[in-house]
Structure 1
Amino acid sequence: MSTTKKQRIFKVIFHNKRKIYELHAHQVSQSDMWGFVEIGEIIFGERSAMLVDPGEEKMKSEFSSVKRTYIPMHAIIRIDEVEKEGTNKIVPLGEKGSNVMPFPSPTYTPPGRNSR
């Protein structure tokens, strides 16, 4: 009987620089830095000699030396816990057929001293 615990897999969708990023990771948590979500152990698919996904390769090169990344809360669109990893991708905003738009920024404004 195997006693190995299956690692959780999260799909995180967020916007950055007019693009929608979709990545998979083993760790997602609230960061100690206020207003940020911490993402660690980003998962990349195995590279096959026959098939190379340019979107996955672009994301892999962007995050290749990243141990953890911190995404502002207002940039997060969705976080799902999934059964198995999928393909990481970057999609430009406004692409034909896209119905995802970023939230207005900032989503939270701390109250001033004179507000009641």
Structure 2
Amino acid sequence: MSNKTSKKVFRVVYFNQDEVFELYASKVYSSELYGFIEVENWLFGERSQLLVDPAEEKLKGEFAGVSRSFIPMTSIIRIDEVEQQGTAKISSGKSGGTVASFPRPPVKTDR
């Protein structure tokens, strides 16, 4: 039996408005809202370095004051339990990579 005294860390990678977000959190589970994943306790690097990563700072600002996020399952690319936290990133979802979003029904604008 392993002696795990450290907290769990999850890497959550998902689509958000044509961008791919890679973030870290300590709690990830199925939501009571059907079709959503619930993510709590976003983890961002508390670095006292002179170098500042603009992508991570943008994500810190976007998630400032957010206690819990509900991410649609169709937006999730992958969720991994990792040994240690990495750097949060944003990348373009249109880079010609091998990841494709799940097809969504067209949105009707007239009622």
Q: TM-score range by the shorter chain?
A: 0.7 to 0.9
Alignment correspondent of 2:102 = 103
Instruction: Write out per-residue CA displacement over residues 41-84 of structure 1, whole angstroms, 9 at most, x where no aligned residue.
Output: 10000133411000100000000110010000111010000000
- Computing the radius of gyration over CA atoms, which structure comes out larger, 1 or 2? 1
Corresponding position: 1:68 with 2:78: no
How far is 1:5 from its partner? 3.1
Aligned counterparts of 2:37 and 2:4: Cα–Cα separation in 1: 27
Q: How does 1:1-116 map to 2 (within 5 A)?
A: 5-95=5-95, 98-105=97-104
Unaligned segments of structure 1, at least 5 residues: 107-116
**CA offsets 1:94-116 (integer angstroms, 9 cap, x no match):** 13x6333222226xxxxxxxxxx
Which residue identity is paired with 1:34? Answer: Y
Work out the CA distance in 2 between the residues paired with 1:28 and 1:44.
16
Letter of the 1:38 partner, please give it: E
Match of residue 109 from structure 2 = none
Distance in 1, Cα, partners of 2:93 & 2:102? 13
Of 64-73 and 43-52, more deviation after overlay is shown by: 43-52
| Aligned mates of 2:4, 2:84 — CA distance in 1 | 16
> What TM-score do the two structures reach when normalised by structure 1?
0.81
Counterpart residue identity of residue 103, structure 1: F
**Deviation readout 1:1-55 (Å, 9 max, x if unpaired):** xx98311000000001011010000000000111100000100001334110001
Taking every aligned residue pair, what percent have the same amino acid on both sides?
47
CA distance in 1, matches of 2:46, 2:82: 18
TM-score of the two chains, using structure 2 as the length reference: 0.85
